[in-house]
Structure formats: structure tokens, C-alpha cells
């Protein structure tokens, strides 16, 4: 679903927006099927949680960094309507996809409660500008239904925090709990927020629940002090080759892959990149060379 203009405006005005029904049914189904090739199904996990001690090591131990082990989930960070929303929020097509994480949480594995924080501390080495110049766009796509008991993200609307200097990135646990909005919605919902928005992860409030989500973040190409991951550091995984080969030219560009017409391309790089990615259709890059 194309993110309506009013939702893009709400990200700036309120700090976040929620859009149910964002991912189309077929893509959602294939992502959900892929999910359980990566993680235990909730019924398997809860039948014997002790079989899966890895999820109890930290709040973050259910995270896989892109590329995830299966294309069914890898297609979510590069979902065309997500790219479109990022281009419109960032006001340019010159954008980077600078972080994507797949995150599974299981009730009882650990306490997932957090204090409110602004995400910018590990998304830039400085701070966001109050006037939103080159604001970063951070997102959640829910792959499971999230209700009040499913550890929903809690977000504090900007109207309550505008007077807190951006340099303050954390609050005491419990502060502003009365101001927070619980981000709930059916699987396939999108939540977008900015990195200056106070929010927190919350704990499950019922046994037998699990939450699955993909978190994808975008920035303009202008500021090198923003970012989180270096994609070449993840490019030795076998699934990286598959993901790059299956993506369109537009999708690859989000990861910094040289576009057609770049001075990177010549006869040698065309040949050798094809050797690295035997399944990739090099035609657009070859044609770019000829142009």
C-alpha cells in the first residue's frame, strides 16, 4: 500500500505513524512462511522453551541482521512501497538503506521492558537536527499481530517531548509511561518514526505470545556521520549473493551497489562482478557502459 501523504506528514508532526495493511497479502504470507524457516514457531517454542536458551541471553538475541536466511523475509526491507515512502520522507531518491534487522521475541524468554530512549545514539555519531534536515527514517513492519499483550513498542508523541533537548537521549524507567502510545496492529502493519522520538520496547503481559518484526532504516546519502552497518561486512553470507541477484537495480542501489552509468563499471568489473554473482542479470550495467 502506498503510504498516504497524511501519514508522511504525521511522522514529522507527531514523530511517528502507523499504517495497518501496508504489506500486501501474498508478500506477507511468503514472509511469514519464511519466518519459521528461521525461528521456532511459537507453539514449538512454548512446548519446550528450555530447548531455545539463545532467546534468553539478551533482549536483542532474537535479532538477525540483513541479509536474513531466507528471501521471503529479505524482500520486506526492499518492499517497493517502503522505498517510495523513504524517498518521499527524505525528499530525494539518493538514499541509503542503512540498517535492517529481523527480530523475534518470545514471552518469558527475558524481560523486554526498556526505558524510553531516542534511537539516534547508534544511528549517528552526532545528534539529529531539530528542524528535521536529513532526518533519518526508522521503521517496523509487523510480521505477527501485535496487541496489548504482545510486547508492543511504546512511543511518546513529540508534543510531550519538544522541550527536552535532543542531546538527552534517555529517560528514567517509568518517566512518561502515562504519555506513551502503544503501537499495535495486525501483521503487515507499518510503523515509521524518527530517531529523535522517545520510545521503548515493552514486555509481554501474557504467556504464550510471540512477536516478529522487521526493522528497516533509511537516510539520505548526504551525511556520512549517519548510519549503522557497513554492508560489505555482511556480504560474505551466501544469502547476500542470492539477495543481490534477486533485487532490482533500484533495490541494490539502496545498499550502495554501483548504478548503471557509474564510473565503477568497465569491461573488467562487469566480468568479475558477474563471476562473484553468477545469477545476477548484468544487462543494465552493460547497457550503462555502452551509453
Ligand X SMILES: O=C(O)CCC(=O)C(=O)O
Residues of this chain that bind ligand X (CB under 6 A): 114, 119, 153, 199-201
DSSP designation for 156: -
Which H/E stretch holds residue 11? helix 5-14
Residue whose C-alpha is closest to residue 252's, from 83, 85, 105, 126: 83
How far is 224 from 96, CA to CA, in rounded Å? 11
How far is 85 from 152, CA to CA, in rounded Å? 23
Smaller CB distance to ligand X: residue 122 or 248?
122
Smaller CB distance to ligand X: residue 58 or 92?
58
Shortest Cβ 60–ligand X spacing (Å)? 7
Within the chain, strands assigned E span 16-19, 63-65, 95-106, 137-142, 153-155, 181-183, 190-194, 199-200, 210-220
Smaller CB distance to ligand X: residue 179 or 286?
179
**Cβ atoms of residues 88 and 193 within 8 Å:** no
Smaller CB distance to ligand X: residue 70 or 184?
184
Residue with cell 524507567: 173
Which of helix, strand or coil describes residue 155? Answer: strand
Shortest Cβ 103–ligand X spacing (Å)? 6
Shortest Cβ 201–ligand X spacing (Å)? 3
Shortest Cβ 186–ligand X spacing (Å)? 16
Shortest Cβ 189–ligand X spacing (Å)? 13
Q: Long-range contacts: 43-47, Cβ < 8 Å, 24+? A: 45/106, 45/210, 46/106, 46/107, 46/207, 46/208
Shortest Cβ 211–ligand X spacing (Å)? 8
The rounded Cα 243 to chain-centroid distance in angstroms is 16
Smaller CB distance to ligand X: residue 119 or 253?
119
Smaller CB distance to ligand X: residue 199 or 252?
199
Shortest Cβ 273–ligand X spacing (Å)? 36
Smaller CB distance to ligand X: residue 74 or 139?
139
Partners of 18 in beta bridges: 191
Cis peptide before 248 (omega within 30 of 0): no
Amino acid at each position: 500500500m502506498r503510504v498516504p501523504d497524511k501519514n508522511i506528514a504525521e511522522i514529522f508532526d507527531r514523530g511517528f505513524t502507523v499504517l495497518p495493511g501496508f504489506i500486501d497479502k501474498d508478500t506477507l504470507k511468503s514472509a511469514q512462511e519464511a519466518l519459521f524457516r528461521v525461528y521456532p514457531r511459537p507453539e514449538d517454542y512454548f512446548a519446550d522453551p528450555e530447548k531455545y536458551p539463545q532467546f534468553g541471553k539478551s533482549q536483542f538475541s532474537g535479532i538477525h541482521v540483513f541479509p536474513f536466511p531466507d528471501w521471503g523475509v529479505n524482500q520486506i526491507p526492499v518492499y517497493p512501497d517502503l522505498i517510495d515512502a523513504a524517498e518521499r520522507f527524505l525528499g530525494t531518491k539518493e538514499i541509503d538503506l542503512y540498517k535492517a534487522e529481523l527480530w523475534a521475541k518470545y514471552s518469558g524468554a527475558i524481560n523486554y521492558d526498556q526505558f524510553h530512549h531516542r534511537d539516534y545514539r547508534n544511528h549517528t555519531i552526532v545528534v539529529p537536527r531539530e528542524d528535521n534536515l536529513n532526518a533519518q527514517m526508522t521503521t517496523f513492519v509487523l510480521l505477527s499481530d501485535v496487541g496489548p499483550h504482545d510486547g508492543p513498542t511504546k512511543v511518546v508523541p513529540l508534543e510531550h517531548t519538544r522541550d527536552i533537548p535532543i542531546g538527552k537521549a534517555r529517560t528514567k524507567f517509568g518517566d512518561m509511561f502515562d504519555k506513551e502510545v502503544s503501537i499495535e496492529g495486525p501483521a503487515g502493519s507499518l510503523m515509521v518514526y524518527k530517531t529523535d522520538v522517545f520510545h521503548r520496547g515493552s514486555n509481554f503481559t501474557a504467556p504464550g505470545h510471540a512477536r516478529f518484526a522487521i526493522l528497516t532504516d533509511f537516510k539520505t546519502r548526504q551525511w556520512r556521520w549517519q548510519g549503522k552497518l557497513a554492508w560489505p561486512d555482511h556480504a560474505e553470507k551466501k544469502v547476500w549473493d542470492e539477495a543481490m541477484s534477486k533485487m532490482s537495480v533500484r533495490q541494490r542501489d539502496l545498499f550502495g551497489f554501483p548504478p548503471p552509468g557509474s564510473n565503477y563499471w568497465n569491461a573488467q568489473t562487469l566480468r568479475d562482478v558477474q563471476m562473484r554473482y553468477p545469477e545476477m542479470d548484468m544487462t543494465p550495467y552493460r547497457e550503462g557502459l555502452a551509453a
